[in-house]
Amino acid sequence: MELPFPLPFPLPLPRGDSSEDRHAKLREALAGLSDWNTGVLSCQLLQWKVTPEYHDITSPIDKPGGISRGLPLLRPGKGLNLVGKIADFYSAWPEDAKPRIAKGTYQNTQKALSGIFKLCLHKYDAYLDLIQVEPFLPVSLPVEERRKIYTWSEVGGYPPHLAIVPPGDKHNDLFNASRLAGVKSLLGAVIPKELMDLNPSKGATLSENTTYNQSLVKEAKNIYINPNVGTRTTPRPPGVPLKLDWYTDFVFAQQYFTGTNPTTIRLATDEWITRFRDTAKGQGNQDMVKLIDEAAKAKSLYVLDYSDFRTMVGAEPTDIFTSNASLPGDTRKDRWAVAPVCLFNLPADDGILHPLAIVIDYIKDMASSVVIFNKRLDSSVTSIDEATDWPWRYAKTCIQVADWHKHELGVHLSLTHLVEEAVIVAAHRSFDDNHPVYRILKPHWLKTLAINEAARAILVPSVINMISGMKPEHVLKFVRAEYNNFNFTKRYILNDLPDRGFPLDKVGLGEKQFHNYAYARNMIFMWSILRKFVTGFFSAFSELDSDDKIKNDNNIQTWVKELREFGKLTTFPDIKTRDELIDAVTMCIHIASPQHTAINYLQEYYQTFVINKPPSFFVAPPTSLEALEALTEPDLVKALPMNQLRQWLLAAQLPHLLNETVALKESLPHYALTLIQTASEEEVKNAAKELYVDLGIIGEAFEQVSEKMDPETGGYHVMKPDTTAVSILI
């Protein structure tokens, strides 16, 4: 069709006042860009020559070479020890992995790391699809056939998990053809020897670093697009200037109620109370002795007890935690971790968790360890300047370093990702695909096996080991010990909270003493509605309507045996009753959905500002109280990952990678909606309807819980049902 009038060519764009605005917007968009277009990234990787080597998959022999040279690929049918080779796959970067890029910017490196990791995840997904492990389109297989694909492995020292190469030569061939072994060096290869441009780690003082963090967030630069703990302020009356307060006792302590790890704090045992009391007495701190005596009587003393870290990794009581595992090309390598203990008071009249004392690294006994007491006996003391109490700030950082390990390796990796993986592998090896337990659980396994494999093969060796203060073998032993010590039934929410000294009635009713422990309050609601949903779902199936039937259900009994014997979850219940089945299934959903959401999706907020919760120290911890008390700000600056851009990059990047927003279709309410429209059984439809409605109701209840917290806490929103992921997605 002809245009009715002639147009000049090229068509001139209208020019005007808005052009400058557009360029300003462009600059803003570039500054806030945290991810790259995938196609452009692919071209860039080719230009950098950062690619796995090409292999002719029709050729029977793989030739080593290229970037994956450090990790010889498996060669099928040549009698090589497959297990040994897969163990290499989980080990650290190959010795010859060198930075390929001499200089680069922090921002581009961050985007390259994110982009590559996501591409690696796609590759894992594709490989698992190929070998028919949770394939994109489901296949119906009798359980005997599925048992050949889902097999157990303990390779690499990890707890029992899915064998990435199921038995059989054909699987070896497929694994080789997948070239997964070639991707593990990629992350290391794109970190330039020298990083320039943005430096979020910089600062001669802590407040300089804090102010810089604030300006990054203000300008929405790079991954610093959202507020983080370093930008928070205490609410003040109108006219009173706001103060950044991330380092205060209040913010430090509250993280153990509503931070990344709200699952470890517990009532102090008499033994710990006596140890701290005696030490306070020994230091002539009579005020503290009196306070401990009173609080002990009121049963308001709580602890974070990390004194067992050495036992967990099989170290001697006086061994020092240190590591020099490093990024290719690193110059400052030596790092340290600690095994501290913190004593808190939680007064019934204000419910403000307040740290009283810290053993900075529990070595053998109290007498051999450095113990410091807070000069602020309670949260109302304002005569002490918290900003400049450097010895106490250092001690609090010890707890944060230790909790970085407890949280990332234990509570997060081991006790959600890996425990759920055992549940998944055992279920695939036990249930017919129309069994009600399989049907209720399967939607809660989305993406979990692929992300777990990527964690073992990439995140632990290439990120965690490069920033942790524990050496790689200790990291592995720690993960394993957490798994071995996990008590499945004791951690049911209704058992867990009272076991840790949080009575259900008092917490549930929001008594003053517990009004700031929003994680616990929310979880009581969440557990109740999940259990109700499981009960309703199972009511559709006559095969599960009596204890006898459950006792004689071969699928269920095989699942139990698989988990206890081969999954080595020895505390998984020996299910003989309907109640036991409902509880166990509720727990499997709880771990995959609300529990993982609560402990995963706050990492970016608390950890991209790395000095709040660093993964290690760069200077050995003081070995005497005198040395600790002599510690000043420059000492803390040297000890933190400040002005350590490469480590900062990995430490901030890890939480950023893991905190992608949950898509609507991967949320718990969306799961319920879909089930309502698809289930053929009325009882299942009804259970899903009630779940959806209940999620709405508890969503409102969570808001009320959050509003009732002290305003200084900033509230607690991570468990909002709309953004509670249906499974362990990342």
- Mode of pairing for the β-strands spanning 335-337 and 321-323: antiparallel
Shortest gap between Cβ of 656 and Fe ion (angstroms)? 13
Give whichever of 639 and 662 is closer to Fe ion, judged by the CB atom: 662
The answer to whether 414 and 484 are in contact (CB under 8 A) is: no
Residues whose CB is less than 8 angstroms from the CB of residue 605 and which lie 6 or more positions away in sequence, other chains included: 226, 227, 228, 229
Give whichever of 214 and 600 is closer to Fe ion, judged by the CB atom: 600
Give whichever of 99 and 615 is closer to Fe ion, judged by the CB atom: 615
Shortest gap between Cβ of 599 and Fe ion (angstroms)? 8
Shortest gap between Cβ of 619 and Fe ion (angstroms)? 30
Residue facing Fe ion at closest CB distance: 600
Name the one range near Fe ion by CB under 5 A: 35-43, 423-431, 570-578, 600-608. 600-608
The site string for Fe ion over 560-599 (x = CB under 5 A, - otherwise) reads ----------------------------------------
Question: The tokens of 498 are what?
Answer: 């009272």
Shortest gap between Cβ of 409 and Fe ion (angstroms)? 12
Q: Cα(470)–Cα(647) distance, rounded to whole angstroms? A: 14
Strand partners, 105: 196
Give whichever of 345 and 600 is closer to Fe ion, judged by the CB atom: 600
Strand partners, 301: 345
Residues 491, 492, 493, 499, Cα dihedral to 10° = -50
Shortest gap between Cβ of 133 and Fe ion (angstroms)? 19
Strand partners, 357: 343, 373
Give whichever of 660 and 683 is closer to Fe ion, judged by the CB atom: 660
Contacts 24+ apart (CB under 8 A), 40-49: 41/111, 41/112, 41/115, 41/116, 41/119, 42/119, 44/112, 45/112, 45/116, 45/186, 45/190, 48/100, 48/101, 48/189, 48/190, 49/100
Shortest gap between Cβ of 720 and Fe ion (angstroms)? 17
Give whichever of 428 and 447 is closer to Fe ion, judged by the CB atom: 447
Shortest gap between Cβ of 601 and Fe ion (angstroms)? 9
Give whichever of 402 and 459 is closer to Fe ion, judged by the CB atom: 459
Shortest gap between Cβ of 549 and Fe ion (angstroms)? 36
Omega within 30 of 0 (cis) for the link into 594: no
Shortest gap between Cβ of 730 and Fe ion (angstroms)? 5
Please identify which residue in 231, 468, 600, 612 interacts with Fe ion, judged by CB under 5 A: 600
Give whichever of 46 and 663 is closer to Fe ion, judged by the CB atom: 663
Q: Cα(449)–Cα(68) distance, rounded to whole angstroms? A: 24
Shortest gap between Cβ of 455 and Fe ion (angstroms)? 8
Give whichever of 326 and 600 is closer to Fe ion, judged by the CB atom: 600
Continuous segment of H or E residues that includes residue 336 = strand 335-337
Report which DSSP code applies to 368: T
* Residue 101 main-chain phi, psi, to 5 deg: -115, 125
Residues 328-367 that bind Fe ion (CB under 5 A): none
Shortest gap between Cβ of 595 and Fe ion (angstroms)? 10
Give whichever of 600 and 644 is closer to Fe ion, judged by the CB atom: 600
Burial 481-497 (b: 16+ CB within 10 A, else e): bbbeebebeebbbeebb
The site string for Fe ion over 438-467 (x = CB under 5 A, - otherwise) reads ------------------------------
Q: How many CB atoms lie within 10 A of CB 27?
A: 10
Shortest gap between Cβ of 339 and Fe ion (angstroms)? 24
270-282 helix and 286-297 helix, angle to the nearest 10 degrees: 160
Report which DSSP code applies to 14: P
Give whichever of 600 and 616 is closer to Fe ion, judged by the CB atom: 600
Shortest gap between Cβ of 451 and Fe ion (angstroms)? 7
Binders of Fe ion: how many residues, by CB under 5 A? 1
The site string for Fe ion over 523-562 (x = CB under 5 A, - otherwise) reads ----------------------------------------
Continuous segment of H or E residues that includes residue 6 = none
Give whichever of 110 and 600 is closer to Fe ion, judged by the CB atom: 600
Report which DSSP code applies to 179: T
Give whichever of 206 and 599 is closer to Fe ion, judged by the CB atom: 599
Collapsing DSSP to helix, strand or coil, 103 comes out as strand
Question: The tokens of 402 are what?
Answer: 């230790």
Q: Cα(721)–Cα(668) distance, rounded to whole angstroms? A: 7
The site string for Fe ion over 267-306 (x = CB under 5 A, - otherwise) reads ----------------------------------------
Continuous segment of H or E residues that includes residue 492 = none
Residue 689 amino acid letter: K
Site residues, Fe ion (CB under 5 A): 600
